Amino acid sequence: MGSTTPLFRFLLSRVGADWDEVHSEAVSRLDKPDPIFWLVALRKDDGKDVVRVGESTYYSGLYVDEGNRLRVVAPEIGPESLEPSCPCCTHTLNGIPFGRPHRPKG
């Protein structure tokens, strides 16, 4: 997880930018490009709303739009709309703690 955090933050910081430029810059800093595609889908239909990395770390899923721009799959999802799955961990979305507390099921 730790090694993907800088990559994922970089990708999120480039939302709206030209995908070819973003991809080129990301690949130049990596041993292999595979982790890029844990977060980025080349088509919106293949994208995930949220990508879980580890036990309690989540990132917004990204995709490349028709204009070759990097976009967020579900921009309406934010840390305030997510609920932790347990009370013991700090759950984050894009590095920001979830805004809602854990509620036991049942």
Query: What confidence tens digit (pLDDT) does each residue in 26-44 have?
Result: 999 999 999 999 999 999 9
Residue 88 counted as domain residue:
no
Residues of the chain with pLDDT under 50: 1
Residue 32 counted as domain residue:
yes
Residue 9 counted as domain residue:
yes
Residue 18 counted as domain residue:
yes
Q: How far apart are CA 76 and CA 68, in angstroms?
A: 21
Strand 50-53, strand 62-64: pairing: unpaired
Residue with tokens 């899923």: 61
Residue 86 counted as domain residue:
no
State the pLDDT at residue 55.
87
State the pLDDT at residue 102.
76
Residue 84 counted as domain residue:
no
Residue 104 counted as domain residue:
no
Distance of CA 72 to CAs 32, 38, 63, 76, Å?
A: 23, 14, 6, 9
DSSP string, 43-102: SGGG--SEEEETTTEEEE-EEE-TTSBEEES-TT--GGG---S-SSS--EETTEE-SSPP
Residue 90 counted as domain residue:
no
Domain that holds residue 18: 4-76
What domain count does the chain have? 1
